[in-house]
Amino acid sequence: MKCLCTLIMVGFIALLLFSNVNADEIDAAKEDKYTVLNRGNFEIKIDTEFKDWKFSKYVLVMGKETWEPLGGSWDGKDDLSAELQIAYDETNLYFALVVTDDEYVAEGGDPWSNDGIQIAIDTSAGKIKAGWPNATTHLYNFSIRDGWQKETGPFLGDAEIEMKRDEKVKQTLFEWRMPNEIVAKKGTKFNAGMEIAFAMIANDSDKNAKGQTGWVGWGNHTIVFGKKPEEMKTLVLSAESFAVNARGKLTTTWGALK
């Protein structure tokens, strides 16, 4: 009986600990802005373990309503969906991305053909010129097979990035840090209240398809179907930092990550 009571108590405590395990979900199909928290005094290690991101607050969810086909079909969130979290400090932007994809394909010659990611970023948010290229928007592509690819932009440079495929759970994991110098002029600081234009797509390919067959994303047409940077979404840098509870410990809000 004592053993049973102990097990019940342990289970109850575990339930309390994990009763607030999910970050607030931001639907990429409905929202044009994402609030980016400051990492505060908490170090983010780029390792695709995502332990640091349990203490963030918002996750941008890309699924059915953001899917666009290019010869392919969307067969549910396990076919293709993505969850993105972003943080910042004075000199860096941090990203954690989980892409659920039932079939990892890397048979092409470019990131977009190899289940890769494409992002557009522009620190002149609100003043973006139409047309491509526009002299302010940066475009970066990356995939496990191809690595980090610098495509377009005035301050092109390399990010610190880690990528891996977890075939057991059918997820591709990306974590990267972008220093300010690869998206803005030297000396630019990231501060609360700053707005940064951003867009992203996660590409999907199928075996023997010889290229991308569709994608999910946020601000898709910044990158595909003509490249329209004026359609980028907005990252709003917040004065709020990663949550800390009354005991001074970081509060878990993104749960047991994938």
Q: State residue 171's pLDDT score.
A: 98
For residue 244, the model assigns a pLDDT of 61
CB atoms within 10 A of CB 171: 21
Identify the bridge partners of residue 171 per DSSP, sorted by sequence position.
100, 166
- Cα distances from 252 to residues 132, 164, 191, 208, in angstroms, run 41, 24, 24, 42
Span 78-90, mean pLDDT?
98
Cis peptide before 69 (omega within 30 of 0): no
Mean pLDDT is highest, among 17-26, 27-36, 248-257, for 27-36
In this prediction, residue 67 carries a pLDDT of: 98
Q: How many CA atoms lie within 13 A of 228 on its CB side?
A: 9
- Above 90 in pLDDT, residue 13? no
At 48, the amino acid letter reads: T
- Summarize the confidence of residues 28-45 as an average pLDDT: 96
Could you report the per-residue pLDDT of 222-257, keeping only the tens digit for each?
999 999 999 999 999 999 998 764 344 433 334 444
Structure tokens that stand for 140 in this block: 């970066």
Q: pLDDT value at position 10? A: 38
Q: CB 62: neighbour CB atoms within 10 A?
A: 27
Q: What is the pLDDT of residue 14?
A: 33
Of residues 60 and 42, more confidence is placed in 60
The residue-averaged pLDDT of 44-56 equals: 93
- pLDDT at residue 250, as a whole number: 39
Is the pTM value of this prediction over 0.75?
A: yes
Give the DSSP H or E segment for 10: helix 2-17
CA distances from 25 to 58, 61, 177, 200 (A): 6, 6, 22, 17
User: Which stretches does DSSP call E strand in 39-168?
Assistant: 58-62, 68-69, 81-88, 92-100, 117-122, 138-143, 147-152, 160-166
Report the length, in residues, of the chain.
258
Domains delineated in the chain: 23-241 (2.60.40.1190)
- Contact of 258 with 171, CB cutoff 8 Å: yes
The mean of the pLDDT values for the chain is 87
Q: Residue 73 pLDDT more than 80?
A: yes
Strand ranges in 63-128 using DSSP code E only, listed in sequence order: 68-69, 81-88, 92-100, 117-122
Between 77-81, 156-160, 196-200, 251-255, the lowest mean confidence (pLDDT) is in: 251-255
* C-alpha distances out from residue 131 to 31, 128, 140, Å: 23, 9, 17
Which range (18-27, 52-61, 92-101, 202-211) has the least confidence? 18-27
Q: What DSSP state is assigned to residue 249?
A: P
Helix (H, G, I), strand (E, B) or coil at 6: helix
For 162-197, write each residue's pLDDT tens digit: 999 999 999 999 999 999 999 999 999 999 999 999
Query: H or E stretch including 197?
Result: strand 195-205
